[in-house]
Amino acid sequence: MTVQPIRLFGDPVLRTPADVVTDFDKELRTLVADLTETMMDAPGQGLAAPQIGVGLRVFTYHIRDGGGTGHLVNPVLHFPNDEEQDGPEGCLSIPGLQFDCVRREHVIAHGQNMYGDPITVEGSAMLSRAIQHETDHLDGVLFVDRLDGETRKAAMRAIREAEWNGEAAPTVKVSPHPTLGRAR
């Protein structure tokens, strides 16, 4: 397990849809371990592979207060109802900033674990928010894209003024794994 550098807002990898995982091998297990280690070190409540420069549909999550710790590969989300939640949301790729963001209250996420076995994660409140947030990363969407007009303007202004804005992208190792090795 290795703590990896987290890509920041403005890095093109964050806007690129991730590829479906097809190889469930040691390289994927290493990626999940690195994501978990990096997320816990940050600390954060979730981290998607594109945030460390890997264009694969994988994320980890760690929700305090009973939400648990886990990962999902190739997630597909289903919403059992239209109930929404509105609350503060942040992102490790947009450090130090939080804005109110509307999300669905409940989610059922179907996917696979790092071994390729089918899994389902069902959650409400913070777990639901984290699963939606991380799945957005896999589609090249950031939470600021989901903000209403005035809040989005304030968020973009805060990002422009953030001391980390404009920092060079970190150097990220390229894996020999056939699906992990896509240059980004």
Task: Give the H/E segment covering residue 176.
Answer: none
Residue 27 domain-assigned? Answer: yes
Does the structure show a pLDDT above 90 at 163?
A: no
- Tell me what percent of the chain is helix, strand and coil, each rounded to the nearest 5: 30, 30, 40
* Binding site per annotation, positions: 91, 133, 137
Query: Considering its fold, how many domains does the chain have in total?
Result: 1
* Binding site per annotation, positions for Fe cation: 91, 133, 137
Owner of token pair 């790729």: 93
Residue 134 domain-assigned? Answer: yes
* Residue range of the domain that includes 16: 12-161
Provide the whole-model pTM: 0.89
User: Is residue 167 very low, low, confident or very high in pLDDT (cuts 50, 70, 90)?
Assistant: low
Q: Which residues are catalytic?
A: 134
Contacts (Cβ under 8 Å, ≥6 apart) of 168: none
Residue 21 domain-assigned? Answer: yes
Residues 27-43 have pLDDT tens digits of 999 999 999 999 999 99
